[in-house]
Structure 1
């Protein structure tokens, strides 16, 4: 099942896509795709409603696509979680997941403009798999329990200002927190449709040049272990988003390569989760 939100920023409406790509309006069932809706989401029941014709069709062509989750409470990032990425930048593999937080103000639609922050000199891209939480999770004991709290998956670009992240002292959050730095979507795809989250291809292009071409199979810590691990340190709530790390190919791993500048175009896709396209602007 694919869920999305379409319309102007701040006034999106909830939509579900049928198997043939037909869009159906969810406004009669929920005001938005938020934590409250995800906590009661039953993909099988929603699919049955689509099949029975219980939801009105709607047109989405030409409309802006928003992030598929409205107002996530927390955005959690995982760093150095791909073996090839760690090797590319000369970093040791972490013994435990590297965790950082991103403000929810970073979350935008998949095709919205990404802004190079004021003073930013080394803005970089990071294609990632995002996990969206659907049930409250605290002190999970097993990965099987972790599987039961996931509402779905989405594509995400964990945009990073490397000069702020690595050259200004303190935590990584400085380089991860600028407005527009988490383009999310286009869809939230439920686990039954995604299948094994460790078998997804990820690809990213800058101005038409392929920069990243990886697979979630290369993760150091798999998705379910990440969810289980995080629940030992924080309460995960419905609507929270976890961005799970990036494969090799980021600009920071290519000495002499140009970082992103206003006017650049970034395109990315995660297998089964859709495609994004962002043009860079200036804050």
Structure 2
């Protein structure tokens, strides 16, 4: 991996932080990422509520290898699919159909509504793509939490007539909070009567689950890296396939911003994601 001189690296990391914390900053990465070779369909409805819509990115040439539903982060109270055109476009250029859904946020809803929206969006994309195309659940931060609940807690996809082992080819979790303390700003988001089923980690300890790629930066100050390590260990003890990738020196924001070409030197996220998905799309290993 090519390392830029320190001043340029600091500038790029600052751009990454800006890009994923403000719509105007995200537009910088979106503008720098060309959409050539990709067809973009915006505002596809998956439900009747205002935020129940997704954007779809398709490679123009050749048959897609699979489909990825990407759930963005934002602490379950912020975020927009408009910020992630750079991600949808980049992964589409790697041969994948990519859906980036919005989902309802706090204070409009509390847990588990944002997970239920995730399941509803996944079903809509599955119906559109057909049963034969491998479909991946991918997320960053709070979005990795949503994806993890879909992959490991069967109730959410079962409510939509699907199942993790039958419909999720693989889970890609980036910097996810899988076993966190509910306090402070998160206290009202997760009602007391639902907290015994609100964490991803316990669901990973039992049963068979789709293959997982779990990525986390060792310098993450927002979500503890041990949460990803603990999830990987729990899945492996259950006999599931779980690939753990701890990226030395990467923080919470730059690890996902690294998918955009100007920041790709900061972390190998894009190659890790596509190599994992390519292997499953070619081999279809299934659960366990």
Task: Report the TM-score when normalising by structure 2.
Answer: 0.27
More strand by proportion, 1 or 2? 1
Structure with greater helix percent:
2
Q: Which has the higher contact order (CA 8 A, sep 6+)?
A: 1
Could you tell me the TM-score, scaled by structure 1's length? 0.28
